[in-house]
Amino acid sequence: MSKTFYTQDHEYIRLDGDVATVGISDYAQQQLGDVVFVELPAKGKSFKAGEQAAVVESVKAASEVYSPVGGEIIEVNGALEGEPGKVNADPAGEGWFFKIKLADPGEAGKLMDEAAYAAFVKSLG
């Protein structure tokens, strides 16, 4: 069974073994507005936790997407190139950005669980 964790930058990871699916939270897509472009990382590229891995552009702004954990990109959601609106329509489902094979599975433990993230978002007003 997969577990979902969040960063303070509003990325999520859904862990399934040592592979994490990464995207932006529902709160983040609401703040961005209509997503019009997504720049995804290259398959095979490695990132450290906190490094910029992707870019999402909306009618309001462009925003960086950071890798919540370190590892190697093993898959990207190519459907977003033609249909970036999937990020708005289903951020936790069809709107995912990339899958990363974790270099250190323990890194996920440093992220917020769903309850902690919900409290964090509520604190933002």
**Percent with pLDDT over 90 in the chain:** 93
Domain ranges of the chain: 3-110
What does the mean pLDDT of the chain come to? 95
Fold of 3-110: OB fold (Dihydrolipoamide Acetyltransferase, E2P) (2.40.50)
Any residues with CB less than 8 A from the CB of 118 and at least 6 apart, and which? none
Residue 2 has pLDDT above 80, yes or no: no
What average pLDDT does the segment 5-33 reach? 96
Q: pLDDT tens for residues 33-79?
A: 999 999 999 999 999 999 999 999 999 989 999 999 999 999 999 99
- pLDDT for 120: 97
- pLDDT for 92: 94
- Helix/strand/coil (H/E/C) assignment for every residue in 19-52: EEEEEECHHHHHHHCCEEEEECCCCCCEECCCCE
Residue located via tokens 């961005």: 32
User: How far, in Å, CA of 3 to CA of 5, rounded?
Assistant: 7
Residue 1 has pLDDT above 90, yes or no: no
Q: What is the pTM of this model?
A: 0.95
Residue 110 has pLDDT above 70, yes or no: yes
